[in-house]
Amino acid sequence: NENRGCIYKVPHRLREVNEKAYEPNVVSIGPYHHGKQHLKAMQVIKRSFFRKIAEENNPNVNELARTMRSLEARIRKCYEEAAFYLDSHQLVQMMLLDGCFIVQLIRGIHPAEGIFEVGRVQTDILHDLLLLENQLPFFVL
């Protein structure tokens, strides 16, 4: 079914067993955990990753935003109800920040190097990126 999400939420019966097992520790990716208070500190880091990409590809940043806007309907179809509380601007901004964050991690470029030297932060980020509810559609990357 084309209207059914492809990035699912954890079923309630599984979540009841251990709620914390399905919650990100340090970084939200996508709409399901976006805006949660304990994850807001990483938004600053995401913005620094985005600025790094913007510095490298200045003319392409506006094109990137236009492309993301053109994918909005397709992006929304990938999620269950959570993507619908975000307006168009919020969704595009979240996808750009989250997508650039993931791409920069894959590239091994960390503009905020210090954060990755703090205890378990890097391990927590990698853990969070594997959570079912903490995903982006691949075509966003």
pLDDT attached to residue 119: 63
Q: Are 53 and 104 in contact, with CB atoms under 8 Å apart? A: yes
Average pLDDT value over all residues in the chain = 86
3-state helix, strand, coil in the chain (%, to 5): 65, 0, 35
The rounded Cα 61 to chain-centroid distance in angstroms is 18
pTM attached to this predicted model:
0.87
Confidence band (pLDDT; 50, 70, 90) for 1?
Answer: very low
Please give the biggest Cα pair distance in the chain. 49
pLDDT tens readout for residues 70-81: 999 999 999 987
pLDDT tens readout for residues 4-53: 668 888 898 988 888 888 999 999 999 999 999 999 989 998 998 888 88
